Chain A
Amino acid sequence: MTFQHYRQEVLALTMRWVRRLSREKFSMLFTLVQPMLFWLIFFGSLFQKAANIQILQAPNYMSFLAGGVVVMTVLNNGLAGGVDLLFDKENGFLERLMSTPIHRSSVILSRYLFVMAITGMQILVILSIAFVFGVRLETGLPGIAVILAIGMLFGVGLTAISMGLAFSVKSHGDFFSMLGFLSLPMIFLSSALVPLSAMPGWMQVVAMVNPMTWVIDAVRPLIITGWNAAIPQVGMAFVILAIFDAVCLYGGAKAFRRAIG
């Protein structure tokens, strides 16, 4: 196993994901557009008047929501990251891949490269749309780089959960119901839609142990407040994500080994 071989495998496999996406133009469009349209524009406009600016501590609801939508996109992409491997497992394609002399990890790495690239692009599109709607990033371009870095780090763990689940479940019905079970509470029991201070006490407690809250609370000040408020939050998010990723990668790797041998 040389580095050249490894690179060749990962490239060939990543190319496959890209080709698949280019064949599913509609699905691509909807995945890209859905978070912006549904969450950012509809939800953002809907709650504009209902939201209390004092509680939000943001110029308006949409600028408050932008950070939440960025992280929700990372969440959805990450949790869906294992879906294609699940179908590969079910229709025998994975077995075909595994019967070739590739390093077992190249399939996983190719998936990561693809999911991360798509997520990164989506984050940029969301921030651009928000810009069109008047949301000005307080930390500018370096802030975008930090948001991307945080998003990627969160995505690593989430994708590991998704792939681990894909390798462990008996049927894809199980997979999708578990995904649905995970994703909505992750969103509602976090600071994505309202700040922690506006939640009932018990919800605050649950939201505090949700890694998503920590990630959003680091992204949001980068958008609406500025570096001074953001830096401690970003530092905290990196620490929490390091732990989160380590746990998820460990579990994911275990599930992968059990399934692939």
Chain B
Amino acid sequence: MVQIFINGKPFKVDEGITVIQACEDVGIEIPRFCYHEKLSIAGNCRMCLVEMENSQKPVASCAMPVAEGMKIKTDTEMVVKARKGVMEFLLINHPLDCPICDQGGECDLQDQAMAYGSGISRFVEHKRAVKDKNLGPLIKTHMTRCIHCTRCVRFAEEISGNQQLGTIGRGEDTEITSFLEKSIDSEMSGNIIDLCPVGALTSKPYAYVARPWELKKTQSIDVFDAVGSNIRLDSKGDKILRVLPRINEDINDEWISDKTRFAYDGLNHQRIDRYYSRDLNGKLTEDSEEGVFEILRSKFSNTKTKKIASVVGNTVDCESIYALKTFLKTIGVENFDCRQDESFFIPNNRSSYLFNSKISGIDESDFCVLVGSDIKKEAPILSARVRQRFLNSDFSYPILRVGSRHNVNFDVDDLGLGSTSLKKLSSGKYLSLLKKSKKPLFILGQGAMCSKIGEQIYNFCLNLYLKVSKDQSWNGFNVLQTFSGRVGALDLGFFNESNMKSKSVIKKIYQGEYDVLFLMSADDLDFGKIPSKTFVIYQGHHGDKAVSRADLILPTSCFTEKEGIYVNLEGRPQLSRQVKLPLPSVDHSWNFFLKFSDYLELKMNFKNFEELRKNMFSEYRFLSKLNEIQSYELVQPKKYKYNFVEDEIFSNIDNFYMTDSVSRNSPTMSNCSLAFQKKSL
């Protein structure tokens, strides 16, 4: 701690921080454009000037480290005059187009011009104009508005790791651009919209849509990947107009992926808003609630419970899963699963499917092994975190990889494509490296866990990890989940243990062992393989893959229309909040089961949402502790004979922009896939 004086008052502040951070800590606001907490210091906007004793000139507080006894003044005449001068220069080339600018109302320049602008321009010469750049389907540019703070350049270089943005030219000719105006191909590019302190980079899908003060802001969480990024949903009327990140240092810092940010427009397309059943010609036609209930009743009562199966999708909230499970138990159905991709896990062992080190654990680790994961597409936020860890280590943080050579934003040491290369880890150079590591981090991707020998890969890696790890307080053995609903479903026990050993429910579905199949938003099955005699009931919110095969379609609310708990890949339960009501014709899935069990004259153990939650919480206590993570011990696997194969371990995510029914129906996401997805034949 050092003592400094700000405006004459003494303060104790941490060593090594800069003056702007010290002022922030004690609650004094300093205007800034280029300075950003999470980015490196540039010091080029000069807006944060303060007066320092023994310095003749004002100093840039963002680049000045604190020192013992330093005397800072932030409100003197000199400071105000200096800032006014800087502001006048910044405004010289800035157009006065706030009324048609999308940043208007939440613009740093606008706000600070209110405080430090002179009101009248003394500049009579021509203002410069800069050509707009085409940065792809997500980011709209108005480069004349740019004040060259270079936040976007630094973000691209430091955080997202796609070094495509740069500052070309100098002096009056300075421009921010990408090489030859290529669009920015990154899973995190949308964040530069938030970073831009002016209206130079704005959101293309949100262009001219709304003003910030008109929007209703709902604090929620993201469901497009398993990270559970904290987001804010901005809506007007019943439409979601944009998605912004909320700061959560333990999860997403203050970034979100492009899918999180832009896939929301899928919510307004291809919605299922009524009941459908197939008529005699096999055509889907609208049906009434009673008609559908009658079909369901006859199907459920005329089929043996052994012949009924159910699968939940990848992005379903805990309450819906619990309601379905309760209903299935009430009618005596035991064949259900949540793993459409048949990924491996150990029942009743949470550590076998969680990211045990927690996301913040990445920062502490000193060695990383990636197995069968395309981390940049599966969880861009985690990938950025690993990149941060890598950069902070001065390139001495070793990252080994087994599996496909997907693009990454850090340096990796590739051991091989197939699982045979895992053996390299357990001997020779790599083993001695691993043994030296104090906090090794293993990340097993779904590519590995879903492969035929997923169990072997898991056990091999776990054995190796337990062999090399010494620190009891450190658990760095992680499984990287890719879907937001998966952990919750596994926690709620939505699988059949007796079906684990021999054949999975999914395989049996394809073999036609079931006559009735109830799908809850499960769109990722191979519908061509389901025999035609199986009666498929689909409860979902979007007309996606399953709809063309389904014999009966039940509408349900989607995640923005209900409150629900999602458990993220760390095992952290978080609350997704309701933004708007579903259409009158659409039920929440728990409500559907209530109504339908009433129709069957069955008694469910809940009568309303509160009771459902109460029951769920009493059965699964950890779900009631929102935002808390409970740690679990790793379980030593049995002795095992490994039959590794040369087959390449692929990631199971091919197209980052389309991974679930909402993003598959989003026009923005399909534009992105067209622009960025390399056609792989």
Do A and B assemble together? no
